[in-house]
Homo-oligomer: A and B are copies of this chain.
Amino acid sequence: MKVNVLKENLAKSLNTVGRIVSTKNSLPVLSHVLIKTEDGRLKLASTNLEIGITYKIGGKVEENGSITVPARLFTELVNSLPGDKVEMSLNDLTLKIMSGNFKAEIKGITAEDFPLIPDIKESKVLAMDNKTFRDALKLVSFAAAVDDSRPVLSGVYIVKEGKKLTFAATDSYRLAEKNITLSKDLGTDFSVIVPIRTINEILKIVSDIDGEINVYLSDNQISFEVDGVELISRLIEGQYPNYRQIIPEGSETKANIKSADFLNILKVAVLFARENGNTLSIKINPKGKIEVNVIASQVGSNESFLDADVTGKGGEISFNGRFIMDYIQNVNSKEISLEITGELTPGIMRTAEIKDYVYIIMPLRS
């Protein structure tokens, strides 16, 4: 192998593929990054056996070849290089790196030992605007379960039916659902559960890339590809719960609330609510006030109120304050609405600024 690449491109690709590399792994090659010439470009790849990332960059390939080198050392080395260009060549299993006044040699492991990252590019099921895709994922992913006690809940449910694309996530205490209408239909309908760790990686990797995202599907794997970067992941097997039945049809009381003011009050309230699992009592007064109350037997108590635009007869209900904060922080809208119907019916949160989007919170015993 002999290649010349721009340092900037190499650093960027390593910072992306390096994200999922474990340094604690018992299998040394999993702490390595694969470097391989392919079709006149340089491909970098990493895998943690659940997720695989490949990144292709342009460069001058003078001689083909492949090797794996320790991801951390190589990434730090490239990030520290002062020059603009990096020349890499292979001498048996040692990678030579030259840049400006620098010369380094890194001992590698043969690319043959690197786990095969499957290629499922034959079955493209989605091609859409990356920002639209990313924004929808962000609006639901925070509601997924963070532990694996019920595996199907630790992922985002993605369903395509014709031109309708639905994203949903729930940890069984709260639920977020966002619908999108596709501008083009590639013809294949599907429903999959994508692990939340995969979703979080996608969100980070594609966060600053515009353009189109392509999604490919096989029996048990899904692949996302944007502008030369590809992430492939296993899918979660199992039946996603029929969550639609818990979404209330309507509500008795609705309050339109300024997000920033509500968030400020909630921040203080949850400090006091730590000892009782973030349980806050929320009273909606039909005359246009919201009252938030916490009684914490060990540390003290907190009460606060703010103005709101209320329709309906009002009522009192207990919620996990963190769940309301999560919603406000993720939707990033000036005003949100909270709808309630008695103290045993789930609350509904919406914002006029985001269409086809609903957030449901289960009530708590106060």
Question: Which residues in A have some Cβ–Cβ distance to B below 8 Å?
Answer: 70, 73, 76-77, 80-82, 94-95, 101-107, 261, 264-265, 267-268, 271-272, 298-306
Q: A101-B306, A268-B102, A268-B104 are in contact. Are A261 and B82 (CB under 8 A)?
A: yes
Q: Find out whether the CB atom of A299 lies under 8 angstroms from the CB atom of B267.
A: no
Q: Find out whether the CB atom of B265 lies under 8 angstroms from the CB atom of A102.
A: yes
Q: Find out whether the CB atom of B271 lies under 8 angstroms from the CB atom of A103.
A: no
Question: Can you name the residue of chain B whose Cβ is closest to the Cβ of A105?
Answer: B300
Q: How far is the CA of A8 from the CA of B326 in the complex (A)?
A: 27
Which chain B residues border A303 with CB–CB below 8 Å? 102-104
Q: Find out whether the CB atom of B300 lies under 8 angstroms from the CB atom of A102.
A: no
Q: How far is the CA of A236 from the CA of B101 in the complex (A)?
A: 46
Question: Can you name the residue of chain B whose Cβ is closest to the Cβ of A74?
Answer: B271
Q: How far is the CA of A206 from the CA of B300 in the complex (A)?
A: 34
Q: How far is the CB of A329 from chain B (nearest CB, A)?
A: 14
Which chain B residues border A302 with CB–CB below 8 Å? 102-105
Q: How far is the CA of A259 from the CA of B200 in the complex (A)?
A: 40
From the candidates B102, B103, B264, B272, name the one contacting A82 in the complex (CB within 8 A).
Answer: B264
Q: Find out whether the CB atom of B101 lies under 8 angstroms from the CB atom of A304.
A: yes
Q: How far is the CA of A70 from the CA of B299 in the complex (A)?
A: 8
Q: Find out whether the CB atom of A271 lies under 8 angstroms from the CB atom of B80.
A: yes
Q: How far is the CA of A300 from the CA of B109 in the complex (A)?
A: 12
Which chain B residues border A77 with CB–CB below 8 Å? 268, 271
Q: How far is the CA of A101 from the CA of B304 in the complex (A)?
A: 5
Q: How far is the CB of A352 from chain B (nearest CB, A)?
A: 24
Q: How far is the CB of A156 from chain B (nearest CB, A)?
A: 31
Q: How far is the CB of A257 from chain B (nearest CB, A)?
A: 13
Q: How far is the CA of A299 from the CA of B109 in the complex (A)?
A: 11
Question: Can you name the residue of chain B whose Cβ is closest to the Cβ of A107?
Answer: B300
Which chain B residues border A264 with CB–CB below 8 Å? 80, 82
Q: How far is the CB of A19 from chain B (nearest CB, A)?
A: 19
Which chain B residues border A107 with CB–CB below 8 Å? 298-300
Q: How far is the CB of A129 from chain B (nearest CB, A)?
A: 37
Interface centre among A77, A104, A106 (most CB of B within 10 A): A104
8 extra interface residue pairs, beta carbon distance < 8 Å, beyond A73-B272, A103-B303 = A73-B299, A77-B268, A101-B304, A102-B265, A102-B303, A104-B302, A106-B300, A107-B300
